[in-house]
């Protein structure tokens, strides 16, 4: 990447020049490989991830083996910074859903620069708040809304973060992400495909009628998107 070009991550794009120059020597580029576990809940954080592309799922795992997504992070966010400013212990797992790249920053320089720059620290806090707000909305959504609404909301959020025309997602993965049985996703996906909203084939999902998908989704998609814009602008 040219020296005068910033990585395509929203936080890095919006940083004042002086703060970005302080960060630049500490940033490394890393590949985000599908299904890679970037962070494990309960472990001490050593690195912060700022995605350029791809999708990372923030997941809560239960003792019986189930795992439910509470938030989704892409180029509009970051992974681990709010915890790093606190006790340094990860609250959730972070697993790569769709491959991409990210800037990686060790915790020590992040804390040092945040301690010197109130603007940078404020940006980190607001990005962290946006992630918490998304997690809270996901919990409310999974408890209150239909599978069709939840799946539509999830697909819209993923589409916002993914650069390709189709999402590489199996029905089994979608079911895990919204906390339902696979057959429930199969029924809803089939209904949406018959209605011309989606095209699904061999683990690839294409949104063919975005307007209809937005109408099918619950208000949680719009709420999360509005909070994201307001908190990290």
**What structural domains and CATH numbers belong to the chain?**
10-141 (2.60.120.10), 146-217 (1.10.10.10)
Which residues are 47's β-sheet partners? Answer: 106
Going by C-beta distance under 8 Å and a sequence separation of 6 or more, which residues neighbour residue 226? none
Residue 201 has pLDDT above 90, yes or no: no
pLDDT confidence of residue 177 = 86
| CA gyration radius, the chain | 18
What does the pLDDT average to over 208-215?
Answer: 93
pLDDT confidence of residue 3 = 58
- Residues 19-64: pLDDT tens digits? 999 999 999 999 999 999 999 999 999 999 999 999 999 998 776 7
pTM of the model: 0.90
Residue 116 has pLDDT above 90, yes or no: yes
* Per-residue three-class SS string for the chain: CCCCCCCCCHHHHHCCHHHHHHHHHHCEEEEECCCCEEECCCCECCEEEEECCCEEEEEEECCCCCEEEEEEECCCCCECHHHHHCCCECCCEEEEEECEEEEEEEHHHHHHHHHHCHHHHHHHHHHHHHHHHHHHHHHHHHHHCCHHHHHHHHHHHHHHHCCCCEEECCHHHHHHHHCCCHHHHHHHHHHHHHCCCEEEECCEEEECCHHHHHHHCCCHHHHHHHHHHHHHC
- Residues 67-82: pLDDT tens digits? 788 899 999 999 998 8
Residue 233 has pLDDT above 80, yes or no: no
When the pLDDT of each residue in the chain is averaged and rounded to a whole number, the result is 89
pLDDT confidence of residue 229 = 74
């Amino acid at each position: 990447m040219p020296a005068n070009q910033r990585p395509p991550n929203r936080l890095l794009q919006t940083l004042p020049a002086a703060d970005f120059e302080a960060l630049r020597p500490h940033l490394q580029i890393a590949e985000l490989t599908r299904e890679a576990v970037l962070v494990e809940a309960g472990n001490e954080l050593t690195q912060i991830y700022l995605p350029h592309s791809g999708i990372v799922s923030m997941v809560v795992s239960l003792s019986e083996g189930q795992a439910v997504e509470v938030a989704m992070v892409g180029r509009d966010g970051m992974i681990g910074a709010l915890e790093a400013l606190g006790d340094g212990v990860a609250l959730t797992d972070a697993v790569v859903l769709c491959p991409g790249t990210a800037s990686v920053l060790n915790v020590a320089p992040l804390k040092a620069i945040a301690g010197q720059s109130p603007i940078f620290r404020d940006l980190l806090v607001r990005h962290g708040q946006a992630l918490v707000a998304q997690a809270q909305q996901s919990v409310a959504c999974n408890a209150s809304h239909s599978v069709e609404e939840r799946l539509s909301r999830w697909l819209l959020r993923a589409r916002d973060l993914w650069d390709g025309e189709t999402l590489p997602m199996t029905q089994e993965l979608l079911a895990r992400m919204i906390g339902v049985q696979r057959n429930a996703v199969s029924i809803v996906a089939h209904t949406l495909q018959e209605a011309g909203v989606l095209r699904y084939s061999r683990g690839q999902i294409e949104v063919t009628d975005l307007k209809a998908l937005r109408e099918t989704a619950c208000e949680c998609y719009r709420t999360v998107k509005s909070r994201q814009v307001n908190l990290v602008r």
